[in-house]
């Protein structure tokens, strides 16, 4: 009897010990796998955080550059443009701002002669008013030359007026204009 139960008991005990040991090893392997996964996830999180920080710094740099260029344009540098570099995060915005800067420059270039003409007409009107106030006559050559179409207008008006008067060397008294 003892000879039969002793080997069975030993086998049973060995089986229980093996089962407990295998389950412990499986649990340890699962825990090691989870720890490895945690380490991998922490590394991935660190990498993503570094990428986001780099993107944030790049965005701040690009925004500052755009602000400087827009300020430069506002201060009269009509050739200021936002560089279109490979890897710029805000390149679509930069391209649109460049289009706006180009159109603004073109508008300014087209409006500048009109502004000069308007200013010269105002200066001529002021010269005529001053002559009227002083009651003086002055020759057409004493009118300031502006280099704008207003000069041609004054000359044509003078020729028209002079054709009707014998004295073409001076403008009529300002009080009669």
Q: What is the pLDDT of residues 62-116, one digit of tens each?
A: 999 999 999 999 998 989 999 888 888 888 888 999 999 999 999 988 888 888 8
pLDDT at residue 175 greater than cutoff 50: no
DSSP assignment string, 107-149: HHHHHHHHHHHHHHHHHHHHHHHHHHHHT----GGGSPP-SSH
pTM over 0.95: no
Tell me the pLDDT tens digit for each residue of 132-173.
777 776 556 566 677 778 778 777 777 776 666 645 455 444
Q: Which tokens is 53 given?
A: 């920080």
| Three-state secondary-structure class, residue 79 | coil
């Amino acid at each position: 009897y003892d000879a039969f139960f002793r080997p069975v008991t030993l086998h049973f005990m060995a089986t229980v010990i093996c089962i407990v040991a295998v389950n412990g090893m499986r649990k340890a392997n699962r825990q090691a796998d989870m720890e490895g996964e945690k380490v991998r996830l922490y590394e991935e999180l660190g990498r993503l955080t570094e990428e986001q920080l780099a993107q944030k710094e790049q965005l701040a740099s690009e925004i500052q550059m755009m602000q400087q260029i827009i300020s430069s344009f506002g201060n009269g540098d009509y050739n200021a443009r936002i560089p279109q570099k490979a890897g710029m995060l805000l390149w679509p915005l930069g391209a649109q701002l460049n289009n706006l800067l180009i159109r603004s420059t073109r508008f300014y270039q087209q409006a500048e002669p009109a502004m000069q003409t308007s200013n010269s007409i105002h200066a001529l009107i002021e010269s005529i008013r001053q002559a009227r106030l002083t009651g003086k006559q002055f020759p057409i050559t004493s009118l300031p030359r502006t280099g704008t179409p207003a000069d041609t207008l004054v000359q044509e008006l003078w020729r028209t007026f002079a054709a009707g008067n014998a004295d073409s060397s001076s403008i009529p008294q300002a009080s009669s204009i």
